[in-house]
Amino acid sequence: MNPADKNPKRTRFICLCNSVPQDVIEAAIARGCNTLSKVFDATTAGVGPCGGSCQPVLRRMLDSYLANGEFPENPNPQSSRKSRRR
């Protein structure tokens, strides 16, 4: 079994430009990064050379946490669909 299948949340990269995984972003938000700018500064996610294509995912994670104190199970469903096609 692929280790990513056991615990995909811990190995899922949200920002591919800067190789920032989901758990690092969640930890930053849980520590008090309550704006996208603070998440960018704390993790480097969202400010890579692509121009920030991961920012909608970061926004989804942040909005979910600020609204209900929880993170979405899969904040980037499109990435899962892509990986299943392979």
Cβ nearer to ligand FES, comparing 6 with 42: 42
The interface with ligand FES within residues 23-52 (CB under 6 A) comprises 45-48, 50, 52
Q: Which residues contact 28 (CB under 8 A, 6 or more apart)?
A: 38, 39, 42, 43
The interface with ligand FES within residues 60-79 (CB under 6 A) comprises none
Asked if 60 and 67 touch (Cβ cutoff 8 Å), the reply is: no
- 53 part of the interface to ligand FES, by CB under 6 A: yes
33: amino acid identity, one letter: C
- Which residues make up the interface to ligand FES (CB under 6 A)? 15-17, 45-48, 50, 52-54
